Amino acid sequence: DKTVSLRKDLSEMHEWITQAEEEYLERDFEYKTPDELQKAVEELKRAKEEALQKEVKVKLITDSVNNFIAKAPPAAHEALKKELDVLITSYQQLCSRLNGKWKTLEEVWACWRELLSYLDAENKWLNEIEQKLKATENVQGGAEEISESLDSLERLMRHPEDNRNQIRELAQTLTDGGILDELINEKLEKFNTRWEDLQQEAVRRQKSLEQSIQSAQETDKTLRLIQESLAAIDKQLTAYAADRVDAAQVPQEAQ
């Protein structure tokens, strides 16, 4: 009869809801690779959309039960009405939970992509430092040229900490949730080691360039004094030559 048919529809819908809960909401998920995380996001999106499509089915069952209740005596429909109320509540909770979990995983995926973006930006900056350190390894020229090399290195090293702080915060957020923790820790360890090594090398290079500038300035000063002394002697000799002074009369230092 009609009651049996309606109960069958209600039972099938309840069964589908239970299966969806077990498959997408009650299992413990572990995301150890980006592929696993991305796959989970896509699965949750499909499950959410499938649940929304079941709204038509739930509405048809609701209309059928309500039509039956309107015509049947109270004793016949009281239990059926309770079953319908339970179904509607379970369905709404399922949709809400699926949507909530999908949004959470979407945010986690966005967080992972953002972390990669910051790591990429910082690694590009570290590449520039590496190139600059190679370029300033053997700077030729005087104090001015060396000073320009030092200035360019110092400008590059004046890099804001914002990106590094963001990397720390995003990594902490993900690993606290046990998501991609091994991969993130590996990437961070590699990045931090490289960052610290290049920072130390840059500090050593700055000191080395400062010493080179000082040495070049001292050399320049010595050369200038020699040139000034030679110019004075040359001037003196020119004067002697003009006065036709005999070589024996020229002072010893001029000789």
Please indicate, yes or no, if residue 230 is contained in any of the structural domains. yes
Distance CA 65, CA 89 (A): 15
Average pLDDT over residues 78-102: 94
Please indicate, yes or no, if residue 55 is contained in any of the structural domains. yes
- Domain stop point among 112, 139, 157: 112
**210-250 confidence digits (pLDDT tens):** 999 988 888 888 888 899 889 888 888 888 777 765 555 55
Largest CA distance in the chain: 147
| pTM given for the model | 0.78
How many residues are present in the chain? 255
- Domain stop point among 67, 92, 112: 112
Into how many domains does the chain fold?
2
247: its two tokens: 């070589």
User: What is the secondary structure of the chain as a DSSP string?
Assistant: -HHHHHHHHHHHHHHHHHHHHHHHTSSPP---SHHHHHHHHHHHHHHHHHHHHTHHHHHHHHHHHHHHHHHS-HHHHHHHHHHHHHHHHHHHHHHHHHHHHHHHHHHHHHHHHHHHHHHHHHHHHHHHHHHHHHHTTT--S-HHHHHHHHHHHHHHH---SHHHHHHHHHHHHHHHTTSSHHHHHHHHHHHHHHHHHHHHHHHHHHHHHHHHHHHHHHHHHHHHHHHHHHHHHHHHHHHHHHTT--GGGS-TTT-
Is residue 6 located within the same domain as residue 64?
yes
Distance CA 210, CA 136 (A): 12
Is residue 70 located within the same domain as residue 153?
no
- Domain stop point among 70, 96, 112: 112
Q: Domain span at residue 102?
A: 2-112
Is residue 51 located within the same domain as residue 69?
yes
194 pLDDT above the threshold of 80:
yes
Average pLDDT over the chain reads: 90
254 pLDDT above the threshold of 80:
no
**Residue partners of 50: CB distance under 8 A and separation at least 6:** 20
Q: What is the CATH number of the domain that holds 128?
A: 1.20.58
pLDDT, position 31: 86
Is residue 52 located within the same domain as residue 101?
yes
Please indicate, yes or no, if residue 96 is contained in any of the structural domains. yes
Is residue 123 located within the same domain as residue 214?
yes
Please indicate, yes or no, if residue 254 is contained in any of the structural domains. no
Is residue 96 located within the same domain as residue 122?
no
- Residue 208 exposure: Cα atoms within 13 Å on the Cβ side: 13
Please indicate, yes or no, if residue 12 is contained in any of the structural domains. yes
Q: What is the CATH number of the domain that holds 6?
A: 1.20.58.60
Average pLDDT over residues 101-110: 94
Phi, psi for 73 (deg, rounded to 5): -70, 155
pLDDT, position 26: 82
Is residue 204 located within the same domain as residue 100?
no
Is residue 85 located within the same domain as residue 45?
yes
The label of the residue with tokens 């369905």 reads 91
pLDDT, position 178: 86
**154-179 confidence digits (pLDDT tens):** 999 999 889 999 999 999 999 988 88
Per-residue pLDDT band at 28 (split at 50, 70, 90): low
Per-residue pLDDT band at 133 (split at 50, 70, 90): very high
Is residue 88 located within the same domain as residue 149?
no
Is residue 221 located within the same domain as residue 121?
yes
Please indicate, yes or no, if residue 255 is contained in any of the structural domains. no
Q: Flag the least confident range among 48-57, 81-90, 92-101, 238-247.
A: 238-247
Is residue 245 located within the same domain as residue 143?
yes
Is residue 85 located within the same domain as residue 200?
no
pLDDT, position 78: 82
Please indicate, yes or no, if residue 144 is contained in any of the structural domains. yes
